[in-house]
Amino acid sequence: MKISSAKLWIALVLIALAAVAPLGISGYWLRLFTFIFMWIGLAGSLNLLTGYTGYLDFGHVAFFGIGAYTTGVLMVKLGMPFFPAMLISAVLAGFLAVVVGIPTMRLRGAYFAIAMLAFAEAMKQVVLEFDGITGGGNGLSLPIYTNYQFFYYAMLGTVLLIIGTTYWFENSKFGKGLMAIREAELAAEVTGINTLYCKLIAFGISAFFAGIIGGIYAYWMTFLYPGDTFSVLITMRMIIMAFLGGAGTLLGPIIGAAFLATIEEILWAEFKYTYLIIVGFIVVFVVLILPRGLVGLFRQRILAR
Amino acid sequence: MTKNFGNLIALQDVDVVLRKGEILGMIGPNGSGKTTLFNVISGIYAPLSGEIRFQGQAITNKKPHMICRLGIARTFQIVQPFGQMNLLENVLIGSMYGRGMSIEAGRNKAEEVLYFVGLKDKMYLTANEVTTEDRRRLELARALATEPQIILLDEIMAGLTPAEIEEALKLLYEVNRRGISIFMVEHIMKAVMTISTRIIVLNYGQKIAEGSPKEMAENPEVIKAYLGDRYV
């Protein structure tokens, strides 16, 4: 998919708006938009793996959590500044994905999903077990930093990097190879694609971005607790957002995450106790009438060209 | 070579030689091991014993993608297109990954191959949107885009009408004329008897006969395998 100049202009205007927005907003709105960017980033990170290779990762929160805790530990225990700590954490998340991927990416479908679910739980136990370093069940407090514009820009920048990477997937030899794996893995292999290698690279990139977001999240929240940081609900939200918008597309995770996060925010304010039920119905409704996601509405026309 | 699945011997001491430039046909009843033989050659299964040599080089335990890059391409009996990708992208995978081309060079190659198999005007349709016959052509195109020395064709004509079979035969002659050796499994006797320079016959995982199409049609072992003892 190549982007037309009209679409490019719309994108540039949106990016410019996002870049100057913190000049006019603060407090609640700044926080809300930072959260929306975080979810766009997480859904986009999952999309790089699941949307393009077809491997559904039910433990993707593991890489978010590894990023968050490694950043926290490096800053608290070693007194490292935020940026190097976050970068090291993200590289570690990517590296661990490749290590875990070597055995698990030979498993197709539900088996991979289950193996990853177990991996995320195992990571949570590791954090609980090594409480001398991680704080364990008592949680971990990071140095407090209250420049909320910083976190806004950090999340926005990460989202732009993820969108750039997704665009590269859409248009590169590597990305086409991943799509071939998603569509028919055996045929991809006998057509000359080193499928295991390609899947591992995609997994590593995907986990690297989840790790960056985890690192920013840790510094932003200033407090980490294993049960929340490795919560399976975070994985679920990533999956729902990616598929709601349309997995395996450039805009899908952005639209899915922005849509769900906004709806939740509005409903939460209006229906404090029943909003999750309403959100659930909306998700079911959208998935039933739009099996290819919100983006699927437009995609049909793009393909027809 | 020999191949087992647990205690079941799927191929037993099968010995096949494919000569450069020939069209070798393989026939045999269902379950006789034809597809298994292809899977062993293309690296999907490792043989229990035996060796596969290609241009003097042992390729026995190589991965399927390496075997493809060395010059052995294949099609599948049950077509396996990249469904949501368009025909151009499907074939592009072959030229980019099978032959190591860049996306631009690969595109030229892919368009050339699509023109050759007669799918050029449909190249922006997804593989899910075209007919079964077109998907079979697509399988062939994807394999050809890897610029193979040898192509393994697994029942590429199954389910085609007589007119379509004529078309397919013409296409295969043309492929072969370009210097690509063909090793094909085919159930449609008329087709395989017409096009093959040589035929081997498998039954219960063993090679029971080998020779010219005419010899095979008259061989009592072959007739027995297909029609039963009474017809010998």
What percent of chain B has pLDDT above 90?
57
A195 interfaces chain B, CB cutoff of 8 Å: yes
The answer to whether A187 contacts B76, with C-beta atoms less than 8 Å apart, is yes
A292 interfaces chain B, CB cutoff of 8 Å: no
Q: Which two tokens stand for residue B229?
A: 């003892």
CA angle A195, A182, B10 (to 5 degrees): 65
- The CA distance from A211 to A218, in Å, is 10
> Which residues neighbour B172 within 8 Å (Cβ) at sequence distance 6 or greater?
B23, B153, B182, B184, B195
Q: How buried is residue A290: exposed, middle or buried, by Cβ count under 10 Å (0-12/13-18/19+)?
A: middle
Question: Can you give the pLDDT at residue A3?
Answer: 67
pLDDT digits (tens, 9 = 90+) for B27-63: 988 888 899 999 999 999 888 888 888 988 888 889 9
Q: Looking at per-residue confidence, does B88 or A110 come out higher?
A: B88
pLDDT digits (tens, 9 = 90+) for B131-164: 988 999 999 999 999 999 999 999 998 888 899 9
pLDDT digits (tens, 9 = 90+) for A11-33: 888 888 888 888 888 788 999 99
B124 interfaces chain A, CB cutoff of 8 Å: yes
B83 interfaces chain A, CB cutoff of 8 Å: yes
Partners of residue A301 in chain B, C-beta under 8 Å: none
Between A172, A186, A192, which is nearest B80 by CB? A186
- The CA distance from A214 to B92, in Å, is 37
Question: Can you give the pLDDT at residue B231?
Answer: 57
pLDDT digits (tens, 9 = 90+) for A158-183: 999 999 999 999 999 999 999 999 99
Mean pLDDT over residues A215-232, rounded? 95
pLDDT digits (tens, 9 = 90+) for B197-213: 999 998 888 888 888 88
**Structural domain harbouring A54:** 5-304
B128 interfaces chain A, CB cutoff of 8 Å: no
Instruction: State which residue of chain B sits closest to A248, comparing Cα positions.
Output: B84
Would you say A74 and A88 are in contact if contact means Cβ atoms under 8 Å apart?
A: yes
pLDDT digits (tens, 9 = 90+) for B63-97: 999 999 999 999 999 999 999 999 999 999 999 99
Between A172, A186, A191, which is nearest B94 by CB? A191
Would you say A22 and A153 are in contact if contact means Cβ atoms under 8 Å apart?
A: yes
The CATH number given to whatever domain includes residue A189 is 1.10.3470
Between A172, A179, A305, which is nearest B85 by CB? A179
Query: Is a pLDDT exceeding 80 seen at residue A153?
Result: yes
3-state secondary structure A50-66: HHHHCCCCCCCHHHHHH
Helix (H) or strand (E) run with residue B219 in it: none
Lowest mean pLDDT among A112-116, A133-137, A181-185: A133-137
A179 interfaces chain B, CB cutoff of 8 Å: yes
Q: B151 forms bridges with which residues in the sheet?
A: B73, B182
Average pLDDT, chain A: 90
Question: Can you give the pLDDT at residue A169?
Answer: 96
- The CA distance from A149 to A34, in Å, is 9
Average pLDDT, chain B: 89
B76 interfaces chain A, CB cutoff of 8 Å: yes
Among B8, B76, B17, CA closest to B48: B8
Q: Looking at per-residue confidence, does B9 or A59 come out higher?
A: A59
Give ipTM to 2 decimals: 0.90
- The CA distance from B229 to A179, in Å, is 51
Query: Is a pLDDT exceeding 80 seen at residue A287?
Result: no
The answer to whether A188 contacts B63, with C-beta atoms less than 8 Å apart, is no
Instruction: State which residue of chain B sits closest to A178, comparing Cα positions.
Output: B93
> Which residues neighbour A212 within 8 Å (Cβ) at sequence distance 6 or greater?
A41, A67, A86, A89, A90, A158, A161
Would you say B153 and B73 are in contact if contact means Cβ atoms under 8 Å apart?
A: no
3-state secondary structure chain A: CCCCHHHHHHHHHHHHHHHHHHHHCCHHHHHHHHHHHHHHHHHHHHHHHHHHHCCCCCCCHHHHHHHHHHHHHHHHHCCCCHHHHHHHHHHHHHHHHHHHHHHHCCCCCHHHHHHHHHHHHHHHHHHHHCHHHHCHHHCEECCCCCCHHHHHHHHHHHHHHHHHHHHHHHHCHHHHHHHHHHHCHHHHHHCCCCHHHHHHHHHHHHHHHHHHHHHHHHHHHCEECHHHHCCHHHHHHHHHHHHHHCCCCCCHHHHHHHHHHHHHHHHHHHCCCCHHHHHHHHHHHHHHHCCCHHHHHHHHHHHHC
CA distances for A207 relative to A125, A154, A237, angstroms: 19, 17, 16
Residue with token string 């498993």: A107
Would you say A239 and A46 are in contact if contact means Cβ atoms under 8 Å apart?
A: yes
Confidence band for A226, pLDDT divided at 50, 70 and 90 = very high
Question: Can you give the pLDDT at residue A303?
Answer: 47
Pairing of strands B57-58, A223-224: unpaired
Helix (H) or strand (E) run with residue B25 in it: strand B23-27
The count of domains in chain A is: 1
DSSP structural state of residue A49 = I
Question: Can you give the pLDDT at residue B4?
Answer: 62
